[in-house]
Amino acid sequence: MPSVISTTHGYRRLFRLPGTRAFTIGNLLARLPMGMFSVSAVVMIAGSRGSYALAGAVTATGLAATALAGPWVARLVDRHGQARIAVPATLASVLGSLALLLCVRYGAPDWTLFAAYALTATTPNIGGLSRARWAHLLRDEPGALHTANSFEQAADELCFMLGPVLASFVTGTFFPEAGTLTGAVLLLSGMVLFTAQRATEPPPQARTQAPSPLRSPGVPALLACFLATGAMFGSMEVVTIAYADAQGHRSAAGVVLALQAAGSCAAGLAYGALKPARVRFSWCLGAMAVLMTLPWAAATAGSLAVLAGALLVAGMATAPTMVTAMTLVQKRTPSDRLNEGMSLVVTALLTGIACGSATGGWAAEHCTPASAYAVPAVAASLALGLASLTRAGGVPRDAADGTAVP
């Protein structure tokens, strides 16, 4: 489908393409539960079993299972199409969520919670499915693709900002299992609406001799950067909760973290509206490394309000970094394995988040919450160092989205 988008016309022209509004609405509905499920599971399990350790272990198991199953599901999507694979995979995931709900509700043995939550790992990479559609529709317009990728990153931030709020509201207003049930309904209905838009779906790609994304030039280096970036996200969340708790305002931790996501969302939308001229991935990583020192400095002031402002500013470097990196992955991944490549990005991020959460928690417990903010700052610097060592930040000028130069 030919497109008529000019980067300078921004987002309005982007959604004038036939079918793009419908698949975006469906995708956003399906993506919102991604910020709900973990919070809902923790509230549901801890409330029923009286153990945050058990709740954390169950959600960690689901995270690990998702990291393993995600690339496999994405590979099937590339070979057989989004609708044929994403819908049954989503059904399996929803059944896992419902099984978890029933196991908690009726006091099933603890091991059943792990088994049920592991089944939710079949959830397709919803953001990746949407980015694959944009990459297909805008394959001849790199400027427009930059705008679309910026929108998708802002949507990620918005969903992870609103998801926990919605989960907390429904579990507190109705019953502990309401968050998981609401998330399952939104996921399934959104995925059905999304996959019903067949006109914008990329055609299935026959298996070729193209190498795995893991062997594509530059992709392993980018995944290493995503791993370090995930560690930054995971440690920042845990350390912020610990810091707010030490200040006697643990309930405010969600609001403070939401400000970081809000800063990233706003920066992502602004970044997409600009013409992408000569921007290196390493420049974005450098800005992120510098800005991530702000929360560390603000935490020493002992004021949660000052920290909130620092997180808002620090978050503004996140979306441009993720947009540029994701565009590089799209360009460097073989076309018949695009969903697999983007799913590997999610796997790297999830692995990094798990490692960062553990490291940040250890630092907050054995040092002080304020000094523990050194962990996300170091993780951001590590991502920059990896890009510099592997030259992940430099690609030919006609590569990626036209933003990177050697």
**95 and 174 inside one domain:** yes
Question: Is the pLDDT score of 66 beyond 60?
Answer: yes
- Tell me what pLDDT residue 263 has: 87
Residue 281 near residue 219, CB atoms below 8 Å: no
Tell me, yes or no, whether 404 lies in a domain.
yes
**294 and 199 inside one domain:** no
**186 and 229 inside one domain:** no
Question: Is the pLDDT score of 291 beyond 60?
Answer: yes
CA distance 212 to 216: 6
Where a domain ends, among 204, 237, 253?
204
* Mean per-residue pLDDT, 229-245: 83
Domain that holds residue 259: 211-406
Gyration radius of the chain's alpha carbons: 20
Tally the domains of the chain.
Answer: 2
**21 and 129 inside one domain:** yes
User: What is the token pair recorded at 34?
Assistant: 């991604």
Question: Is the pLDDT score of 207 beyond 90?
Answer: no
pLDDT tens track for 133-169: 988 888 888 778 878 888 888 888 788 778 877 887 8
Name the residue among 128, 160, 152 with its Cα closest to residue 37: 160
Tell me, yes or no, whether 159 lies in a domain.
yes
Residue 191: Cβ within 10 Å count = 28
pLDDT tens track for 327-353: 888 788 877 777 788 888 888 887 888
**193 and 232 inside one domain:** no
- Tell me what pLDDT residue 94 has: 95
Question: Is the pLDDT score of 228 beyond 90?
Answer: yes
- Tell me what pLDDT residue 326 has: 82
pTM assigned to the model: 0.74
Where a domain ends, among 179, 204, 229?
204
